[in-house]
Structure formats: C-alpha cells, structure tokens
Amino acid sequence: MEQKLESRYLIREQIGQGAFGVIYHALDEKNHREIAIKVWKAGSETEIFSHDNSPFLREEMIPGVVKIYDYFEKAGMNFLVMEYLPGGTLKQKLEMLRKQSSQRQLLELFRPVLEGLAFLHSEGLVHCDLSPDNLMFDEAGNLKLIDLGACRGKEIICDKKFMKEAYSAPEQYTAPDRIGPWTDVYGICAVLFETLTGEKPISFVRRIQKEEFRPVSFYTKTDRHIDQAIFQGLNLDIQQRYFSMELLLHALGYDTDSIRMLSGSTRYFWGQKWIQISGLGVGYHVEGRKQNRRILRRIGLGALCTVLAAGGFWAGDQWLQKHYPVQYFERKARKAKEQGIAKNDERLISSLDEDYETILKRLEKYDPKIGEDLTEGMISCELTEEELLEWNIPGNTRRKMYLDKASIQKVLFSQMGLDRIKNQI
C-alpha cells in the first residue's frame, strides 16, 4: 500500500531489512527522482544527521558514499532519505565480479570508496561497519558505501552491535576508545581481501588464538605491493596499520592528489589520538581478572619448565664432563666462540655511547643529498662493509639504534604522511 511522507515522499515497496532498520523504495515527487528511505527507531546514531552542519546533508556529492537528501524524525522513528542504488550489494555480486574482472579492475571499483572514507575521516567521523553487504552499486555500476547510521565521531564510541566477525578491527572488541581512521583501514582491507580471494579473512579472535593468517598471495596471484598493503592494513596492532586512507591508497599504487587536501584535517582530528595509542606500544589488549589469572598461570608453568630444563641440562653437562672430557671441552670452546660473535653482533649504538656523536659526524660527510627532499635530520648514505666495521656501526637488520624523543616524534609523523618536519601541526 502506497504511503506519502512529508507530503512529497511516496513509498512504493520494501527493498531491504536488517537488524537495525527497514529500507523502502520511494519516489520524491518534488524533485522527480527515485529514492530510498531507511526507517529505524530513534537513538544516538542520529546525531551525525541531525545537527545543522552535518557533512551528509551538504549539496556536494561525496565520492564513493551514498548521497543523503534529507533526514527527519516522526513518531519516535528516524527517516533517512537517500540516493536509490538499484545495482545490488557487493556481497550479492562478488562471485560474478571475481570471475569477470581482473584484479586491477576489482581494485579500481574501490578507489572512490576509499576516497569517500578519507572524506569521512577528515570530518572527524569513522564508519565502523564496513562489509560487503554495506557496499552497493548504482545504476552505472559505481560502488558506494551505505549504512551511514553506524558512523561515529571522535568522542563517540562505536556500538558493539555493528561488529562483524571477519571485518571488525580488534579495538572494536577490546578498546572502543581507540577507534579511528585506522579502524576503517582494517575493515576495508578485510573487504578487499575477500574481494580478491573469495575467502573471508579469519577473525581477530581466531588470530589471537594463534590460528595462522595467510596473505592474499596464498590464495591467488597478486602484485607484491598490493599483497603487502592489504596484509599491513589487517595488522592487529593499530600502530602497524596505515594511519589514513591516503596512505593505504598510496600503498595500493594510486595517485592521492585528489584527497591530499583532506590529510591536514584528518591529522587535526585524529593525529594526537594516534600518537597516544602508538606510545602505549600495543594495538589491542584483553582486560579482566580471568585473563590476568591465565597469564599468571602461564608464567608459573613457564618458570617451572625453565627450572626443570635447567636442572636437566646441568645434570647432562656434568655427565658429559665426567665420561667424555675431550669432546666436552671442545664443545665448550666452540660455544664460547659462537657466543662471542653473537655478543658483538647484538651491540646497540645509543645516544649514551661515547662514539655516538663521532659516528653521526662521519656519516654526515657521506651524505650529498641532505636538503629539501629529506626530512630534517635524516641521513642517507652508502657505506662499505669495511667502513661499518671500522666505525662500529650496525651493519645488519638484527642490530638496533636507540632513538631519542625528538626522533621518535619524527617517525610517528612520517607514518601519518607528513613528509617534512615543517609541515607538522
């Protein structure tokens, strides 16, 4: 039965129903266009639509995001009037798309969606509910993000009711106060993973139970940079993921000029939060007394095993020394030599090291490129193995160099897409 809302929206038929609302196909008689209307009970999720400066109610179209035309409340219900998308969901078309499209064509479908997410993040919003059934095609075959009712602002915690096992980031389960653009990075990379492989990524819960998480390349042939970009985007640790959609697009091989102007606003809203999270040194955590007791039990068992193993080794060592003295001392000498090499190999160069300033000055002589193209303080040079040995400088990836607070800050801002120190907020 046809009904008319606000004297202009003629409802025709129900086209969708979820746990949090019903969607109808309707006609906007005033503007002579087909529309969709989502109806659900009033709640906190209406905040992003109801205030005067809502980014969704502006005239301009947001790339990759369903267009919102109107929002109103009536009889304790919310009514969201939006663009009609007749092409079906990504979930419905995924298998057919994988058979008919190349990998590059599949990724190209997502480009406007990632740009749309970049816009949301620059407005201080996070979608929180990315999945194949929340992406729909318009009449021209363009993919668009829907279900904006899940969006949350910087100070609003995403509801757990929006979590979906294969697509929700760890912080949505364990630390909702740490949600940010990086949360949507995880969600969209989970969707990309399924789009390219046909397999859902294993959930956060299964991964922390040590179930092996395999990259895209395990299931299908893919370019190395795409494989690495999606794998990094699905990292459980927040600080190991990409800070923003701009960085993810760049890693996937796309030009980011169209959204670069949004990066400053994204850093304004989320930069300090990301730095605080990174400073904690963890990307997810599990709280509670039960978890603590489990950890303590494991530590106790580990200590007991260590004591028993040490006793066993000591007894075996004494038996060897008594019955095979020649072989025993040869083995001890060989082990001492190996330990000596390892000890030198693990040496750390610190700002407290007496050679620290000398090493830096020598390195600067080998750097002809210091200038505008490099972050202030960065040293780029090529050294021979002999020079490394002569100066006692780390020569392999297992060695480390301590960073002072200023250097760590530069690294953090670099990860956020700030290429030059002068651009810092």
Q: What is the pTM of this model?
A: 0.68
What token pair was written down for 396?
Answer: 């392999």
Q: Which residue in 220, 217, 266, 225 sits closest to 246, CA to CA? A: 266
What token pair was written down for 42?
Answer: 């009033």
Q: Which residue in 158, 54, 418, 113 sits closest to 267, CA to CA? A: 418
* Multiple choice CATH, 90-280, 3.30.70.360, 3.40.50.460, 2.170.140.10, 1.10.510.10: 1.10.510.10
Q: Under a CB-based contact definition with an 8 Å cutoff, are residues 65 and 92 in contact? A: no
- Count, in order, helices (H) and strands (E) of the chain: 15, 10
Three-state SS at 425 = coil
- Look at residue 283 in the predicted model and tell me its pLDDT: 39
- In angstroms, what CA-CA distances link 98 with 123, 190, 195, 264? 33, 16, 7, 36
- pLDDT (tens, 9 = 90+) of the chain, 425 residues, equals 467 888 899 999 999 886 678 999 999 999 999 999 999 887 655 556 665 667 776 666 788 999 989 888 888 888 989 999 999 999 999 999 999 999 999 999 999 999 999 999 998 899 989 999 999 999 999 999 998 877 777 666 666 667 888 999 999 888 888 999 999 999 999 999 999 999 999 998 899 888 999 999 999 999 999 999 999 999 999 989 999 999 999 999 999 988 988 988 998 899 888 888 876 544 334 444 444 445 445 545 655 665 565 566 566 656 555 555 545 445 555 554 444 433 443 344 555 556 667 766 666 655 444 434 444 444 445 556 666 566 555 444 433 444 556 666 666 777 777 655 454 44
Q: Under a CB-based contact definition with an 8 Å cutoff, are residues 416 and 271 in contact? A: yes
β-strands 3-5, 9-18 pairing:
antiparallel
- In angstroms, what CA-CA distances link 293 with 245, 282, 311? 39, 20, 27
SS3 string, 335-348, reads HHHHHHHHHHHCCC
CA–CA dist 177, 180 (Å, integer): 9
- Look at residue 334 in the predicted model and tell me its pLDDT: 53
Q: Which residue in the block uniquely carries the two structure tokens 């949004």?
A: 262
- Look at residue 75 in the predicted model and tell me its pLDDT: 85
- Angle value at C-alpha 245, between 239 and 247, nearest 5 degrees: 65
**Domain assignments of the chain as residue spans, ordered by start:** 3-83, 90-280, 288-345, 346-425
Q: Please name the helix (run of DSSP H) or strand (run of DSSP E) that holds residue 320, with its range, or none.
A: helix 289-323
- Look at residue 118 in the predicted model and tell me its pLDDT: 95
- Look at residue 167 in the predicted model and tell me its pLDDT: 96
- Look at residue 358 in the predicted model and tell me its pLDDT: 72
Burial call 26-46: b when 16+ CB within 10 Å, e when fewer? bbbeeeeeebbbbbbeeeebb
Strands (E) located in 172-306: none
CATH of domain 3-83: 3.30.200.20
Q: How many residues does the chain have?
A: 425
Residue 191 CB neighbour total at 10 angstroms: 24
- Look at residue 217 in the predicted model and tell me its pLDDT: 95
5-8 long-range contacts, Cβ below 8 Å, gap at least 24?
5/37, 5/74, 5/79, 6/70, 6/72
Q: Under a CB-based contact definition with an 8 Å cutoff, are residues 254 and 128 in contact? A: no
- Look at residue 215 in the predicted model and tell me its pLDDT: 95
